[in-house]
Amino acid sequence: MASNTIGIDVGGTKVLGGVVSATGEILATARRDTPREGGSALTQAIADVANELRQEFESEAIGVSAAGFISSDRKTILATPNIAGWNGVDLDKELTQILGKRIVLENDANAAAWGEFKFGAGRGRKDLMLLTLGTGVGGGLILEGSLFRGAFGIGAELGHIRIVPEGHLCGCGVRGCLEQYASGSALMRHTREAVSASPDIARNLLARGDGTLEGLKGQHITEAARDGDPVALAAFNTMASYLGAGIASLCAVIDPSCIVIGGGVIDAGEIFLGPTRDAAMRLIPFTGKHPYPEIIPAELGNNAGLVGVADLSRI
């Protein structure tokens, strides 16, 4: 049997696939744009990516990762937030009919957690908690060497623990979720608040864009923080305080030995991770009476989900 598998990561704008070896090496990639209409057109785009890769490499199985709720049998997309016409789709059945190959479906954050666990920052460990900070906050859990999915396949939605009662309204319908305070989108909100609080000293930060808040991007904030800009640092510190609080609450339940932080914000490095660790250590219950988890950056970047779901398709 072939030792290579195919992983396909489905996002709101692109379908990216790769042939992945048993050691986690990406041997080849293929890409298609995500069809706006979703549905059967998207299913066909996934099949096209898989077929392109199969022309060059024999594969044992195919794994597909996507944002949203995945059924516990890993066959059906129950609901997805950013892809049209895919809710309730039995993707395993549809793709198996087209490709004639076994398909495994997985939540994107779960797949990324597995990728980091097997081939990235979590190598050699028995457990891992992943928090991916992007538009929202994704989460994945590895416990005793196994991916935790929960009773109905929708476990580890770590970005939706409530940290601010009656706080900002989240897309999930609840107020005060972690992702409203510790995501890339939240960083922009914290920056706007910091600019409003100190408009005179915010000019240097705004000048990195087009001089307006609307023209300011996450990259500008990160670069400014690296250069010691006080407004950018204040925004990162605010975000770190919320993330640390969320981590402390999760540690009281899960008690992981390792917490991996992924997403674009880790480009800020210790400017962000340092204050996050400090906040978490202050708030984890029973301070000083037990070991603390390591809080470390992810290693696989945007390829974590692709590599992870390719490996999960072997299981």
Q: What is the CATH number of the domain that holds 63?
A: 3.30.420.40
Question: What's the pLDDT score for residue 153?
Answer: 84
Residues 84 and 9 reside in one and the same domain: yes
Question: What's the pLDDT score for residue 288?
Answer: 84
Q: Identify whether the C-beta of residue 205 lies closer than 8 Å to the C-beta of residue 232.
A: yes
Residues 70 and 168 reside in one and the same domain: no
Residues 288 and 145 reside in one and the same domain: yes
Q: Identify whether the C-beta of residue 244 lies closer than 8 Å to the C-beta of residue 254.
A: no
Confidence check: pLDDT of 8 > 80: yes
DSSP 201-232: GGHHHHTTTTSSSTT--HHHHHHHHHTT-HHH
Q: Identify whether the C-beta of residue 112 lies closer than 8 Å to the C-beta of residue 147.
A: no
More confident residue, 84 or 95: 95
Residues 101 and 227 reside in one and the same domain: no
Count of structural domains within the chain: 2
State whether residue 15 is helix, strand or coil.
Answer: strand
Question: What's the pLDDT score for residue 2?
Answer: 63
Residues 204 and 287 reside in one and the same domain: yes
Q: Identify whether the C-beta of residue 114 lies closer than 8 Å to the C-beta of residue 312.
A: yes
In angstroms, what is the C-alpha Rg of the chain?
20
Mean pLDDT across the chain = 94
The stretch 55-80 carries a mean pLDDT of 91
Residue 119 lies in a domain: no
Query: Cα separation of 60 and 236, whole Å?
Result: 44
Question: What's the pLDDT score for residue 154?
Answer: 84
| 285: phi then psi, degrees, rounded to nearest 5 | -60, 150
Q: Which domain holds residue 19?
A: 5-114+303-312
